[in-house]
Every structure is written in structure tokens, then in C-alpha cells.
Structure 1
Amino acid sequence: MQAASHTPARKRLVLLGGGHSHLSVLMYFARHPLPGLEITLVSRDIETPYSGALPAYLAGTAEERDLFIDLRPLAQMAGARLIQASVSRVDLEKREMHCPGRPVLHFDMLAINIGSQPDGSQIAGAAEHAIAVKPIPAFLQHWERMQADAAACFERASPYTLAIVGGGPASVELACALQQRLRERCGQDIPLQVHLFTSAPTVLHTHASGAQSLATRALQQRGIQVHTRCRVNEIGAGSLRFRQTEREDETLAIHACVLATGASPAAWLRDTGLALDSTGFIRVNDHLQSLSHPFVFATGDIAAIAGRARPKSGVYAVRQGMPLAKNLRRYALGKPLHSYAPQRKALALLSMSDGSSIASRGGWARQGQWADRWKTWIDRRFVAKYRDLPDPGAGLDDSSPDAQSPLNESVIPSIRCAGCAAKLESGLLGQVLGELQPCNHTDVESSLSSVEDSAIIRLGKERVLLQTVDYFRAFINDHYLFARIATNHCLSDIHAMGATPHSALAIVGIPHAASAIMGDQLREVMTGCTEVLNAHNTALIGGHTSETESLSFGLSVNAFANPEKLLRKTGLRAGDRLILTKALGTGVLFAADMRYQARHRWIASALGQMQRSNQMAAHVFLQHQAHACTDVTGFGLLGHLREMLAAPDMPVAVRLSLDALPVLDGALDCFAAGIRSSLHEANARHGDCLSNAGEFRKHPSLPLLFDPQTAGGLLAAIPAEHAARCLQALRDKGDRDAVCIGEVIEGGEGLVTLCDGPLPALGGAGPEHGV
């Protein structure tokens, strides 16, 4: 993979949808970056399913990792922005994309690969009562419930009836896979009835007669009832009404109905002005380019190539990926586009979920275990291609001149983290600040050596001004979401002191690019910032912008407060319980994200927590007479806890339970894989305040103590008699991960003693520790 380019962005390509074609596009631009092209991937689902592996997954012969491709690492490798959102409208005149709850997204080029859904428009009640096989993630949620319902029926010795509407490859594979899984789960002799309905004279009516015969025989042998030349007219709650040719309507009592009919397009396409075919799919030419809007491209099920009609099959989307990528590049460069001719015949491999598959191409068809092994190999190789990505931090090639340089020292990690993990180490910061001799003012209570979270300026006996500043590089490439989290982080120092933010000044660094692109980035950042400030009734009163190498953002925040009601960082008292409001692990998770090793579900969970304000938690701590409070950010839990222990007039220590530490999903997996934030090593120097670190060096949660946090939680010392009620109040207000992690003890010269057992029961009515 080539090194990232600092060429200013000139054009904006938006990839709409995470379909099979766009996988190839992302991989292509990861290997062949185009300097000056900004790529954004917008997809409702980030863990996108590979449809070819669905039957094996349903039948229980494939795992989740064999079915889903995580778009996040792939987008990271391609240097593409990743936005998880649905699209409500596309304005091609203004080249704007509208996604609910987000700023408008502008583009110069648009590629659409959003797939299709089964068409149930001609069946009454289908929308309300049928379960569409696509989108697959939604279907899998229904499938879990279907299995539970079926098991409940079988326990009562009652039959379970499943109907599948559609006679193509998907319906045949579904019928076999769902039957196989239910039999394996509940027993081979369960009273299970599977009915397959098709309006065609046979299943697989677009395939050769040999494939039709093989599939028909396989379904018959499995006891699956096939209703051919049959039109389903209505699907109700527990019933299906159908009519076979020259017969009266019949009604079948059912427990569930799966819709696997022909494809239908997204409804919003009708309002775009795009040239569509008679069924609503986007008409494209041999360049995969819209017939009406040359800056729009489409592939996969959603596209209809003029004069080259093909079945709606994933194999065509896969084959279109590389031609699409090359034509997008050529279009961006103003070069002539290449033509693409889809193959006339494609190999189809249909899993029968019994260890065999049907192989079909043109007029040829065979069935056997060899075909199933072939299909499994193809499917798993495809998924692995996009799952098992290289680690960009693996190091330089030993043969390169840079690798031989004496300046290439491992003391400087090749990948530097962003967010609050990009701050300077505390030791270095303290050393430099200690060398300065700034002037003093009598009304300034704090100083450069102060450990408080905000500067304190006295305005009178009962009024002080708090000021704090935070600023860092973006750690995600979603500008809007980054700004929301960064704003939350910047406000946290004020919350940690129990005050209410009043106003803020913003500082924004935008990478040099085309004027329109810089405007978009500034608009997204300031929209996210303003939304969060407004939610806190905090006025944005000014700021400063500059051109920077990478997107950066920060705030200087002001607050007014009564000095007698402030929460201070020091003030721990023996017997206090330490309560932490948010889970740990953002540093290592985003370090893994930079290395293409983080799963999207891990990052999504972390981002959700990082958008949660600490304001309510601070109010709860004030209500429960907190003795001290701070927010856990870049120096890690132990670094900030050490600051709380810094008061010379209160010689106390802390007993800290590693087992009690709340942890974000995936963080321990990343630690186990050897991943660390670039600030982790410096933070680990705070380990010298641990009295018994050697006893716990192999404890999986030990690295959490040194992990730098962005938009982390609050850590407060609560009197023991109020701790239980305080913890319950936090959870009631939304801090579900809030937990007691330690207790303050006498003496110990500010040391922290680790333990891995339970802490003493909390005082007051409320949940016990760890509950």
C-alpha cells in the first residue's frame, strides 16, 4: 500500500452502499490511491453480509466471520471517510445527499451499490407479515425469533409450518438451510413443515433443465413441499392465501413466511431524476455510468445495463467491482472510460445444506460433495480477502534505505494516535511547565502547577470564572461525529468541577483542499460542535480557523460558579469509594482502528459512549456529597488517579480492583493482540505508584490503567454511606457502566494497591459492587 498523500483534495467521490462492487473499489484505491480524490463511503450497515455464504451460516456450517465483511478496516485502509447512515434523498442538481440527523453531504461523483430487496408489492399483507430475506441483517434478527418459536412448538409436540415465497436460487437454498438448522437444533423427527411457493412451472426456472431436476429431486427427498404455478395473493398473521392455476383460492396456516421473490429497488430513486428502467432500477451504459447523469455510476442489483440484461445475482456485482473502480479513477482524471461487458453465463453454486451443492452453468449441471467443497472454498476466500488486511504498523522493509537509517528508532512508534491520546506525556509536560516563570495575579487561584481540571479566576467572594482548553487531531474520519465527541470532551473539565459551561471559543484546523471541500469540512465540524454546545446551553462566542495538515478541533470553555460549590480534584478521605462512570479502552480501540484491526461494532460502541455528556454524572456526584472528582482522559485512569492523590495535607492511598474496571467491548482483545496506544508507554510510567504491580502483571485488565481516554468518564470519591445510592442514581440517569472500582484507605504515601477480588459492600440502599 502506498503512503498517504498530502495532496489537497480536489474532487469528492461518494460510494453509496457497501455492496460487493464497492468492496473492490475500496481495495483498489487502497492499493492505488489517487491524490486529490476524497472518498466517502455511506452505508446503513457497516458489517455487510456476503450473500453467497448465507445458506451455510443459516444451516450452521459457517460462522459469523465467514458471512460478514467489516467495512471499517477496509475504508481505513483506503483512506475513505466512513459514515453509517441511511439516505432519505439525493439531489442531483445540487449534488447533495441527505441523511437523517446529519449535515448535508456534497459530492462531485456518486457510485451507487445498494443492492435490492424482495418484491412483495403484489402480495397483500407482505409488508406487514412477511420476513424479507434482504436486508440480511434484519432477516437474521427475525431468524433468531423464528428458531425460538419453532422450538417452543416442538416442545409442545405441535407442528411448525414455514412458508417461503419465490422459486429462484435463494428460495431453494433457504428452504434447505432453514430446515437443516431447525432439525439439527430440535431433532430430526420434529413435526416441521416447509412449503415453497413459485409462480413458475418449476424451481430455478432461469436455469437449465438439469439444475431444475436436481433441485426438485433434492427438495422432494427432504420432504419440502413445492407449489409450482402458484400465485400467493395474501399473507396474514398466521396464514397464507394462494391460488394454483385453474384452482380455487386455498389458505395455509403458517407460523412464518420468508419472502425471497424477485428484486425491487429503493423507492427514493424515483425522486432523483435518474434514468430508470420499467421496474425502477438505474439504467447505465457499458461504462457502468448513468444514462442521464454522467457523474453517477451504479453496479450490482440496483443497476440495469442497457442492452445487456442479466439476472440479479451477486456474481455480477463482484465482477463489476474492478471495472467500476478503474472508471471512477478515469472519470476523476478526465480520461476516456473503458467499456464493461458482463459475462453471458455465470457459474452458480447452490448449497443443499446436506454436504452437497448443485453446480450449474449454461446447460450444464451437476450435484455433489465436490461442488460443496468448491463453493465453501470460493466463499471463504472471498470474505478473507477483505477481512485479513495487512497491518500498516508492521514496519519498514528491511531493505529500504529508511530502515537502515540510525534515526529509525523503535522509541518513536510508526503510528501516532490522535484524539486525547496525542497529548504530550505528563512527565515531559510537567518538566517544561516547571521551567517557566509566568507572572502571577492575586485573583488567579490556580497556577501552571495546579492539578485542577480548569483554571480558576476569582471575581468576588461568591463568584469565580473557570477556564479550560482542549484541542486535538481527529481520530475518526467522520468530521461531524468527531466534532460532537471533541466538544463533549472539551466541556468535561468544567463538568468535572461541578460547574455549568457558559460559553466557548472554537479553534479549527482544516486541511488545505478545494474551497468547496474545506467549506464542507468546516460546516460539518461546526454543526457537530454547535449541536452539542446548544444541548448544554453553552454559547459559541467566537473562534479561530487555520490550515493544518490534518483535521483538528478544540474549544476554550468558560464557566461561572460559586467557589464553595466546586468539585476539586484533591480531597480524598479514608473510607471514600471511588466510582467511575464510563468504561475504559478508547485509546487501544482507536489504535487498533488505525491498524485495520478493530471491528466496527467495537468502535460503534465506543463512539456511542463518547457522545454521552458527563454533565448529569457531575450533578449526581454533587447531590451525593462527593469529596473529589476528575475526568479520566489522556493520562489514563492511573495517571488521573495519581493527581487525585497529590494533596500533601491528606496522606491517603487507594485500593483498586482490576476485576471491577468497566471495559469497552473489544479493548481486552486488542490488548491481547499486542496493540497499544502511542501514549500508553508514557502513561505506564505512572506504574511506579503501584505498590504490588508485579503480582498482577499478567492480569488482562492491567493495561487499562494506562490507556489514554478521549471523552472518558468521571472518577469521583463518594462517602461510603452515600456510594450505593449514588451508583444507582448514575445508572438511572444513563451511565449504565458506572461502577465502584476502589476505596480510599489510610496512609500509604499516595500509593495504589491492586486487588482482583470484590470490594467491601457499598453503604446505603442500592446495588452491590459490580452488579
Structure 2
Amino acid sequence: MQKYPNYQDIVLVGGGHAHAIVLQMWAMNPLPGARLTLVSPQVQTAYSGMLPGLVAGHYTLDETHIDLARLCRAASARFVQACAHQIDPVSRKVSLLGRPPLEYDLLSLDVGATPARELPGSELAMPIKPIGHFFRFWQKLQEQVQKTHAPLKLGVVGGGAGGCELAMAMAHALGEQVLSGQVEIHLIHAADNIPQDYPALARKLTMRELNRLGVHLHRNWPVTEITEPGVRNDRGELLELDRVLLSTNACAPPWLADSRLTLDEKGFVLVDRKLRAQGRQEIFAAGDVASFSTQPLPKAGVYAVRQGPILFHNLRATLTGQPLKVFRPQKRFLSLLSCGGKRAIAVRNRVAAAGNLLWHWKDHIDRTFMRRFSDLSMPTEEMPAAQPRELLAQRAGISLSGMRCNGCGAKVGSEVLRRALEKLPVQQSDYLLRGVGDDAAVLDLPATQLLVQSSDQLRAPVADPWLFGRIAAQHALSDLFAMHARPVSAQALVTLPTAAAEITQRDLQQLLAGAIFELNRHNCALSGGHTAEGAEMQLGFTVNGLAERDQLLEKSGARAGDCLILSKPLGVGTILAAEGMGEAHGRWVQKALDSMLQSNASAAEIFAQNSANALTDVTGFGLLGHLLEMLSADGLSASLIAERLPLIPGAAFCIERGWLSSLQPQNASAYAFVENPQEWQSLPHWALLTDPQTCGGLLAAIPEGSAESCVDALLQSGCAQASIIGAISHSSRAQSRVRLYRDGDWRQLTARDSEAEQSQV
């Protein structure tokens, strides 16, 4: 529920440390009328200070990563999972890969840096950033070492602090293999000083720790080329290596070169002392991507952390006309280097020390820092102070004194509508004669085919309007696929929260562009609709499809002996409920979204080709509710197998914690038709039987002889968790019933039935 209208858009590109702090501080003190959006390709962002501990095995992935989706939820910010690849400062747009650009009033960049790849053959090496890609590589490498026991030579190119920490962490994690000589770890650096730019005592301590862990050092060994056999230096010498990892000097993301921003010689964004991009009052930059022309700084996370509060203040101050703060980097700071095991080296000024207590001190500092992003309360419905809201409305040229009308007075304005529609993707249709822009749509439909219609409407389950448009379109189209009909047209009913005209236009364009993205994939044209203002964002569709009379599939028609096949996993409802409470991990939400955005079109076609006797989609009433609809039409019963029900990762955890959808209590009435509830009530699958699914999968009754080949076809088509979940049987009662089985009990039952059939023969 929107608490107050939005008048200005702040877009944060990148999930770096500075932006994470901005979001955390925003959650504690939001600015009424300003909408915050975070754009990041990853749903989690790594805290670089804990990467060595992650590689060494001291931390789990969740302990070292900030959950950006959850952090955005706490800050009432929108999370957009996408890759930025261009900025247009003139039109104030950020272009995103695979989706429409985002418009902004203020923009902030915290996209980090990547290891330089100017070395010939660097494409053969693995850079340590992005950390997510590197860690997946590292996990596979560890598995390979454990399974094959084959000799392996690893080389880390770059003897800075990061390279030293990485080499020691890997040596600790593979300690037995390193001591036995199976694995060799080589640290290669162009200069004599390791780690570079550290005082003599710190270098001496680091060298001692590297030697203790069995790391092979190659100083004064400038790498000039990376080849398949290994790395070669400027003297032509070859160091044979099986894998090469890059921890070299940082370089800027290449796409910034076309951003029209003022950059330094390495491609980083030049900023003033207030973190503003040079010559751009509405663009800020922080972290590694920011470069200070007056006082160049090393690329260290400590500066990004210090810039976070300054950036938070200056973004707000820019919108409210308040003075901006100056970032003053500290000249000296404590540096703590991890040494593989639970040891660390502390360096400040020219003093250094090493030991176990220093690692525990570092561990305490890192965990305390990470807790600030997890110990967050979810937003309340209290209205923040009015004064900043009035300031933002005034800057947007909006009066707060006027009452918002109902009826036709609540329609979105014609100019806003025109600007949004003119930016939408092109559509083609063989049947649409008149559509968007006319008073009504006109379709020329084939006389030999049946018209199939359905309507659906959703409240926004996500804050990203483009993503919501896609989900709502898929959800509506699913009813046509469940009838084995071919979509041809759709009409939209859009409700947008009250906001400034510019914000409304941006949201409407994103929402409809997302819907058209999915409609175009199925040759379905958006033929018109209606827009209005309301308390919250909602989107509904009336969809029209065509079908030959003999190709239609319905809920009724199942036969005793049919196998029940489910094309998608369960758990959308509980994961979205947990996300609304701020409890869901971002990766669970990501998996739920992936499931929702998978079209049911190919699954419907596969079910039809495998002689489905009945077909329905699993949506709001949950699996049990929709199964009972299928059974009651023909007076049948069914058996379900607990362990075969496919679940979205995280669904079992969420349901066991009691994070239930608000519709679940009503769906629970279906449990009355279960014959043996006591055998399942201790399993998470029990509550997930009535979990409402948005864009759920298809449930089909397939003849037993075709069931296995049908599942194989579904798996090959991309339905990765499609499964036979039970079977249809004759009903011995007046009402349809469902019996639940464990997988082992089911196998014994089917084995006995098979033996009985053979004895009768």
C-alpha cells in the first residue's frame, strides 16, 4: 500500500557498499515523496572484506552477502534486477539490457570495478570480480580437487592485498592437498614488494604467512601473456599453470565510456568533493567507480563505506534544496589482512602485527557491519513528516491542496497516456483491425474457430512495474493455455498509485511494456484497455484466444488410472508472504519469479500431444483446490505422493516458519476432502497443498502409458521440475476424496497392484 504520492525518482545503479548504506539509512529515515530504485544484476552483493573468509571456508555465502532485495523492501525501495549498459544524461535515462530504460530525476552510480584485462590472453583467466562468478568457479574447483585427486597448479596474478589474501585463503581451504603436493598455489607479482604499498614490517609478516601456508612466491615476475599452458613473463619464461586467477589493478566498467560523463584516464567517473559527477548536478558516483581529480584514492572498500552517509545526505539535500556535505577521506586507517586460517595481520601507519586475536577482531568488525543490513524492521504505515513531501511536490510543480476525484475524474490524463503509449514496443496481429487509440477494439476472427475468453487481475506482487506487467500477462494467458487455446488479443485494466504526472507516465510505460513483452512472445496483441488512479498498483487483463472445437481441453474428462502431472513447482504464495514480511532470502524470491515468468504454452502443447484427458492451471486455490475441481466434475478420487511434489527452493523453509499467504486460510477448507491428513500434517508439503500460486503450473491427467514420455518432453522443454505427482482412481464415496502417500508406501502399493494384475492374467 502506497503511503504517500511520489514526486521524484532517485535511481541507484549498482549494489556496492555505498548504496547498501544509503538503503539502510533510508529504511531508518525515508524522504516522503522521493522514490528510491536500486538497479543491480545480482540479488545479493558480496561484502569484499569477508571474501577471503568465504574462500577459506570460515563463512557461508549468506553470511558474506547483503540481500539487496530484502534491503530494498525494508527501505520501501524498488529493486530492479537488470544490467545497466548506457546512461543518457540529457534525457535522464539509464538503458538496461533486455528491458525498457529507466528515467530518473537523480542518479547515483556505485557499480564497482573489475580486474584489468589488458594482458594478452586474459580471457583464459578467471577474475576475482564479480565475486559471485568467481565463487561459483571456486566451488566447482574444490569439488574437482576432492573427486579426481589429480595434480593441479593454481596461479594468482597480482600481489596486492587482495591477491595475497586470496592465495592464503585457497591454500588454507586446500590445506591437505597443498601439503601433499597434489595442489600448488603460485602468487605472481611484477614488483618485489608483496603486498604492494604496505610498510616493510607488514610485508615481512605477509611473506611469513604465505610461506607457512606453502604458497609459491614469484616476485619481480611481470606477466606479459596468459596462455593455455600458463603465464609468460617479459623475459620469455613460462610458468606452467592449470588455472589462472586475476587480482590485478582495477579498471572501470567499459560501458561508462559511452555515458557522456567526464571520466579519468582509466575510465572512472570524475567527481567533486560532494560526490557529484563533474558538470552534472543530478548525477553522483561513489565507491570504486568514483575518481577524485584533486586527491586520487586507492580502490578500497573502506572509502565506499565512508562515502555512504555522505551520499545519503547529498541525495536528499539535492531534492530539498539543502546544503550538501563534503566527503573528507581519512588519511590513515586500520588495515586487516586475512591469512587463510583464523589469523590476520593488522597494519596502521608503519606498525604491523599478526595473530589469531587479530582475526577474531576482524571477524567481529565484519559481522557487526553486516548486521546493519539484516537487523532491519519492515516499513510501517505511519506517515512521515509532511514538510519534505511539500518541498518535493513544490519542486515537481504539484499542488497538494487539491482533492483527487473518483469516477472518470480518476482516469490517467490524456497527455500522460499518450506519452506512455508512444514508447511501447511495436505489435503485430493477424486479427486486430482496430485497437489502441480507438473507442473499442475490432477483431476479425476465423468463422471455423471458437472464441475463448478469460479475465484476471492482480495486485502488484513486486515493486518493479516492468516485471509486474510480465507476471500479470503470464497469469492471465495461463487460463487460455489451460484450455489449449491460442491467444490473439488482450485488454488491460490498469490502476496506478497517485503520483506526479511524470512518475505516472514512467510507471505506465514500464508496466505496459512488460505486458507487451510477454504478449508478443505469444503473438497476442494488446488491443486497448482502461487506466485509472487508485490506492495501489493493480493490473488486470481480459484475454481472447482461438481454438478448434476438437482441440479444447477442460478440467473435466479425467479417467481412473490416469497419472497426475504437475509442470511447475509449488511455493509462490509462501515465498511472497515471507518477502512481504522481510523474511525471504532474495535468491528464493528470484527462483519464485523465474517460475512465475515461465510460460505454460509449451507445457499445454506437450500435454495435448500426450493425450491429456483433463487439464487445469494451479493458481489461487492451490494444488488441492484445483485438483478437487478436476475430480468433482467426474466423480473421481486421487492419490498424491508427498516427496514427488516439486517445490521452489525456500518454500519448505517459509511454510515451516508459518509465513502463509492471506488466502491460505480460505483455501484450507479443501483439507476436509483428504482421507488421511494425520500422515502428512508434519510435512511442509501439507501446507503447500493449499498455497496459492501466481502464474502456477499446469496440472494434467495423462493416460498411464504416456506419462513417462510426457514428463521427459516437459523436462526437455524447460519445465525442470515437472513430475508425476499421483494418480486418478474411482471414487467409492459420493464426494471426491484425495489420499496422501509417502513415496515408499506408493511404490509398495503399485508393486502389489502390478503383481495382482499379473496373477489375474
TM-score normalised by the shorter chain: which range applies?
0.7 to 0.9
How many pairs are equivalent? 686
What is the distance in 1 between the residues matched to 2:528 and 2:353? Answer: 72
Query: Which amino acid in the other structure matches residue 265 of structure 1?
Result: A
In structure 1, what is the equivalent of residue 205 of structure 2? 214
- Does 2:592 align with 1:600? no
What is the distance in 2 between the residues matched to 1:733 and 1:261? Answer: 42
Q: Aligned with 2:529: secondary structure?
A: strand
- Does 2:596 align with 1:610? yes
What is the distance in 1 between the residues matched to 2:353 and 2:329? Answer: 24
- Alignment counterpart, residue 13 of structure 1, candidates 6, 10, 20: 10
Gap change, CA 1:205 and 1:627, over 3 Å in 2: closer
Once the two structures are TM-superposed, the CA of residue 103 in structure 1 deviates from its matched residue by 0.6
In structure 2, what is the equivalent of residue 589 of structure 1? 575
- Does 2:54 align with 1:63? no
Once the two structures are TM-superposed, the CA of residue 202 in structure 1 deviates from its matched residue by 1.0
Contact 2:154 2:243 in 1 (8 A): yes
What is the distance in 2 between the residues matched to 1:603 and 1:464? Answer: 38
In structure 1, what is the equivalent of residue 419 of structure 2? none
Give a deviation string over 1:206-261, Cα, whole Å, max 9, x none.
22222122112322343433333332111111221124xxxx44221112222112
In structure 2, what is the equivalent of residue 124 of structure 1? 120
Once the two structures are TM-superposed, the CA of residue 338 in structure 1 deviates from its matched residue by 1.1
- Taking only the aligned residue pairs, the percentage that are identical comes to 39
Gap change, CA 1:560 and 1:311, over 3 Å in 2: closer
In structure 2, what is the equivalent of residue 201 of structure 1? 192
What is the distance in 2 between the residues matched to 1:665 and 1:233? Answer: 45
- Does 2:637 align with 1:653? yes
Give a deviation string over 1:674-726, Cα, whole Å, max 9, x none.
21111111111111111221332112210111100001111122222332333
- Alignment counterpart, residue 285 of structure 2, candidates 278, 282, 298: 298
Contact 1:286 1:306 in 2 (8 A): no
- Does 2:736 align with 1:728? no
- Alignment counterpart, residue 461 of structure 2, candidates 475, 484, 491: 475
Gap change, CA 1:761 and 1:618, over 3 Å in 2: farther
Query: Which amino acid in the other structure matches residue 120 of structure 2?
Result: A
- Does 2:526 align with 1:540? yes
Query: Which amino acid in the other structure matches residue 346 of structure 1?
Result: F
Gap change, CA 1:722 and 1:138, over 3 Å in 2: closer
| The 10-residue stretch of structure 1 (462-471 or 632-641) with the greater mean CA deviation from structure 2 | 462-471
Map 1:348-387 to 2 at 5 A. 348-387=335-374
- Does 2:127 align with 1:135? no
- Alignment counterpart, residue 36 of structure 1, candidates 23, 33, 37: 33
Once the two structures are TM-superposed, the CA of residue 97 in structure 1 deviates from its matched residue by 0.9
In structure 2, what is the equivalent of residue 696 of structure 1? 680
- Does 2:696 align with 1:712? yes
In structure 1, what is the equivalent of residue 321 of structure 2? 334
What is the distance in 1 between the residues matched to 2:562 and 2:145? Answer: 52
Once the two structures are TM-superposed, the CA of residue 639 in structure 1 deviates from its matched residue by 1.2
Query: Which amino acid in the other structure matches residue 92 of structure 2?
Result: R
Contact 1:16 1:113 in 2 (8 A): yes
In structure 2, what is the equivalent of residue 182 of structure 1? 174
What is the distance in 2 between the residues matched to 1:145 and 1:687? Answer: 44
Gap change, CA 1:625 and 1:225, over 3 Å in 2: closer
| The 10-residue stretch of structure 1 (465-474 or 612-621) with the greater mean CA deviation from structure 2 | 612-621
Give a deviation string over 1:701-754, Cα, whole Å, max 9, x none.
101111000011111222223323333332233323222222222223211122
Give a deviation string over 1:406-438, Cα, whole Å, max 9, x none.
xxxxxxxxxxxxxxxxxxxxxxxxxxxxxxxxx
Q: Aligned with 1:104: secondary structure?
A: strand
Gap change, CA 1:344 and 1:736, over 3 Å in 2: same
- Alignment counterpart, residue 490 of structure 2, candidates 493, 499, 504: 504
Gap change, CA 1:118 and 1:616, over 3 Å in 2: closer
Q: Aligned with 2:684: secondary structure?
A: coil
- Does 2:228 align with 1:237? yes
What is the distance in 1 between the residues matched to 2:141 and 2:641? Answer: 42
Contact 1:582 1:738 in 2 (8 A): yes
Contact 1:207 1:362 in 2 (8 A): no
Once the two structures are TM-superposed, the CA of residue 148 in structure 1 deviates from its matched residue by 4.9
What is the distance in 2 between the residues matched to 1:460 and 1:100? Answer: 38
Once the two structures are TM-superposed, the CA of residue 22 in structure 1 deviates from its matched residue by 0.8
Gap change, CA 1:225 and 1:106, over 3 Å in 2: same
Q: TM-score, normalised by structure 2?
A: 0.86
- Does 2:161 align with 1:169? yes
What is the distance in 1 between the residues matched to 2:10 and 2:446? Answer: 56
What is the distance in 1 between the residues matched to 2:446 and 2:336? Answer: 80
Gap change, CA 1:305 and 1:187, over 3 Å in 2: closer
Contact 1:146 1:256 in 2 (8 A): no
Query: Which amino acid in the other structure matches residue 292 of structure 1?
Result: G
Q: Aligned with 2:112: secondary structure?
A: coil
In structure 1, what is the equivalent of residue 647 of structure 2? 663
Gap change, CA 1:692 and 1:267, over 3 Å in 2: same
Q: What is the alpha-carbon root mean square deviation over aligned residues?
A: 2.4
Gap change, CA 1:465 and 1:250, over 3 Å in 2: closer
- Alignment counterpart, residue 616 of structure 2, candidates 611, 630, 652: 630
In structure 2, what is the equivalent of residue 576 of structure 1? 562
Q: Aligned with 1:510: secondary structure?
A: strand
Q: Aligned with 2:21: secondary structure?
A: helix
Structure 1: runs of 5 or more not aligned: 397-458, 765-771
